[in-house]
């Protein structure tokens, strides 16, 4: 999944618009974008939507309410029978949260429903990003959030005067990337909230793809095409990957080769193969 578009689950209009946005996944949100007074209505709207949706479109993912609220169990009980592709758990504290929700989905007969986590929304959660590996077989991705973390820290802002995330948020982003890769699941970058600033979004998405993230969340349909473009390997990337593999094949049984004056060894071969495999998957 390259692009995952958040859609408030209590907005029929946005649900309809999101479906045609080109996003690889829609995250129907029952959490922060839904007012407390509307939680039940949002749950019903999400369930009805799942039951009626054309399942050949984007993956349909549900963000439940956090595990320290009175809502999450009722969210799962209503949503799991309607068979979403995935559940997103907000404000996870460690792999134990995945186990708790994964076991509950098992008991509700959740088939192959996956789990994603927004894993950096409290200060404590930054110290446990290494605990997600092996937490539950349903775990499919980790992502990060700066907004709740800055609220938790009592910060005045999470970006500097140049629009770059400051230290605590860079740390959260990096630990999410490392924690996801260590757990063998997809690292997904967080949202770009200034949704009219397409250049800023593209720069942030390119930096994420460069570092190893495989996709990015969106909050507005206009962000989807930019994210898809950035996270789809382009022709130049693919041609380079093919050239790396060809250089090793021509050299025979060696550990290192040179291509255009640059040393290539096993990590470069591995990267080239992974890129081609990802491109094949997205076709
Ligand atoms: O052209 P139309 O009038 O038919 O539609 C509008 C608007 O309804 C629609 N639209 C969306 N459709 C689907 N999904 C969306 N997320 C979405 N956002 C907008 O697009 C048309 C143009 O909209 P607009 O440019 O006039 O923007 P609005 O002022 O309507 O909406 C802006 C907000 C920010 C309110 C909207 O984009 C939104 O609700 N976004 C999702 C917010 C959300 O889910 N937040 C929680 C997740 S973020 C997080 O927790 C980080 C971890």
- The answer to whether residues 93 and 142 belong to one domain is yes
2 carries a ligand binding annotation:
no
In the reported structure, the alpha carbon of residue 10 is separated from the centroid of ligand 1 by a whole-number distance in angstroms of: 12
- The answer to whether residues 152 and 265 belong to one domain is no
Nearest to 210 by CA among 193, 187, 239, 192: 187
- The answer to whether residues 180 and 251 belong to one domain is no
CATH number at residue 37: 3.20.20.60
Rounded to whole angstroms, how far apart are CA atoms 234 and 202?
A: 15
Interface predicted TM-score (ipTM) of this complex, two decimals: 0.98
For ligand 1, pick from 14, 119, 145, 204 the residue to mutate: most ligand atoms within 8 Å of CB.
14
In the reported structure, the alpha carbon of residue 43 is separated from the centroid of ligand 1 by a whole-number distance in angstroms of: 18
- The answer to whether residues 65 and 177 belong to one domain is yes
Report the nearest-CA residue for atom 40 of ligand 1.
219
- The answer to whether residues 244 and 139 belong to one domain is no
In the reported structure, the alpha carbon of residue 257 is separated from the centroid of ligand 1 by a whole-number distance in angstroms of: 49
40 carries a ligand binding annotation:
no
Domain count along the chain: 2
Show the domain range for 261: 235-281
Question: One digit per residue, pLDDT tens: the chain, 283 residues?
Answer: 999 999 999 999 999 999 999 999 999 999 999 999 999 999 999 999 999 999 999 999 999 999 999 999 999 999 999 999 999 999 999 999 999 999 999 999 999 999 999 999 999 999 999 999 999 999 999 999 999 999 999 999 999 999 899 999 999 999 999 999 999 999 999 999 999 999 999 999 999 999 999 999 999 999 999 999 999 989 999 999 999 999 999 999 999 999 999 999 999 999 999 999 988 876 6
- pLDDT reported for residue 283: 66
Query: Tokens representing 217?
Result: 């969340």
Q: Which class for 266: exposed (0-12), middle (13-18), buried (19 or more C-beta within 10 A)?
A: exposed
Query: Tokens representing 203?
Result: 């720069």
Q: At what angle do helices 224-231 and 198-211 cross, to 10 degrees?
A: 30
- The answer to whether residues 105 and 13 belong to one domain is yes
The contacts of residue 11 (CB under 8 Å, 6+ apart) are none
- The answer to whether residues 200 and 247 belong to one domain is no
- The answer to whether residues 41 and 151 belong to one domain is yes
- The answer to whether residues 206 and 271 belong to one domain is no
In the reported structure, the alpha carbon of residue 13 is separated from the centroid of ligand 1 by a whole-number distance in angstroms of: 10
- The answer to whether residues 137 and 31 belong to one domain is yes
User: Would the pTM of this model clear 0.80, i.e. be above it?
Assistant: yes
- DSSP annotation of 234 reads P
Ligand 1 neighbours, Cβ below 6 Å, are 5-8, 13-14, 17-18, 29, 32-33, 118, 145, 147, 190-191, 195, 219-221
Q: Where are the beta strands (DSSP E) in 191-274?
A: 215-218, 257-259, 262-264
- The answer to whether residues 96 and 124 belong to one domain is yes
148 carries a ligand binding annotation:
yes
């Amino acid at each position: 999944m390259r692009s995952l578009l958040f859609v408030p689950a209590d907005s029929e209009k946005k649900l309809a618009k999101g479906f045609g946005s080109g996003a690889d996944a829609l995250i129907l949100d029952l959490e922060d974008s839904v007012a407390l007074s509307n939680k039940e209505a949002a749950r019903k709207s999400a369930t009805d939507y799942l039951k009626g949706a054309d399942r050949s479109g984007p993956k349909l993912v549900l963000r439940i309410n956090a595990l320290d609220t009175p809502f999450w169990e009722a969210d799962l009980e209503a949503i799991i029978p309607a068979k979403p592709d995935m559940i997103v758990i907000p404000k996870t504290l460690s792999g134990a949260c995945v186990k708790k929700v994964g076991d509950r989905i098992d008991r509700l007969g959740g088939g192959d429903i996956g789990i994603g986590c927004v894993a950096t929304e409290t200060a404590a959660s930054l110290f446990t990003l290494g605990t997600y590996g092996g937490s539950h077989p349903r775990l499919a991705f980790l992502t990060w959030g700066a907004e709740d973390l800055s609220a938790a820290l009592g910060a005045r802002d999470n970006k500097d005067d140049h629009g770059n995330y400051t230290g605590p948020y860079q740390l959260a982003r990096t630990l999410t990337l490392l924690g996801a890769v260590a757990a063998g699941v997809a690292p997904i970058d967080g949202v770009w909230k200034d949704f009219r600033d397409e250049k800023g979004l593209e720069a942030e998405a390119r930096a994420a793809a460069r570092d190893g993230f495989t996709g990015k969340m969106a909050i507005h349909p206009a962000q989807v095409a930019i994210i898809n473009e950035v996270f789809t390997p382009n022709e130049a990337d693919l041609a380079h990957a093919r050239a790396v593999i060809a250089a090793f094949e021509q050299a025979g049984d060696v550990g290192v080769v040179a291509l255009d004056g640059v040393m290539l060894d096993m990590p470069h071969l591995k990267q080239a193969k992974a890129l081609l495999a990802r491109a094949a998957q997205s076709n």
